[in-house]
Amino acid sequence: MNQNIHKHFRISYYLLIVLAIFISSCSSRRVAVRPNPHAAGVADAMSHLRSKKLYSFITDWTGVRYRLGGLDKSGIDCSGFALLLQRDIYGNTLPRRSKDQAESIKEKKFAELKEGDLVFFSFGGREVDHVGVYLNDNYFVHASTTKGVIVDDLRIAAYQKTLVKAGSVKN
């Protein structure tokens, strides 16, 4: 009988060791988290804004959905967003449409852009049909048709191919 208890104890002891090894091997597994370089770039661009008022404006509007013709937090389009940002942050008056906004700027080379300058795109091919506001280090804020108000990187191929004009609002 003593031998049976001893054998049972030994089997339990081995099972306990196997269980401990199994549990420790599971807990040592690490999930690989890939850093998102775009998110880091956006955070860096936002942290380097000179205007704290601009920072607050962008964070307040980030995520607001896109709505053609929209001009409030229930939905906004790109030209409406640029119009409100220029008005509220810089005291500038802009036309309502991006095509007309493009005609109301003092054009600059892309390397000369400063915080608050406007960047224009032509996704349709012929005329300006999208606008954003330059921040710094190739980042800009705009009302994306798919993501709403977002900070994006001008180095993204889709923007590089369609970027047609940039500059500051004429006073």
Return the active site residues.
Answer: 78, 130, 142
User: CB–CB of 170/107 below 8 Å?
Assistant: no
For the sheet containing 139-144, what is the strand order? 105-107, 163-169, 118-121, 130-136, 139-144, 148-153
Q: Helix axis angle, 78-85 relative to 52-61, nearest 10°?
A: 150
Query: How many whole angstroms separate alpha carbon 58 and alpha carbon 50?
Result: 13
Query: How many whole angstroms separate alpha carbon 142 and alpha carbon 130?
Result: 9
| Burial of 110 per CB tally in 10 Å (0-12, 13-18, 19+) | middle
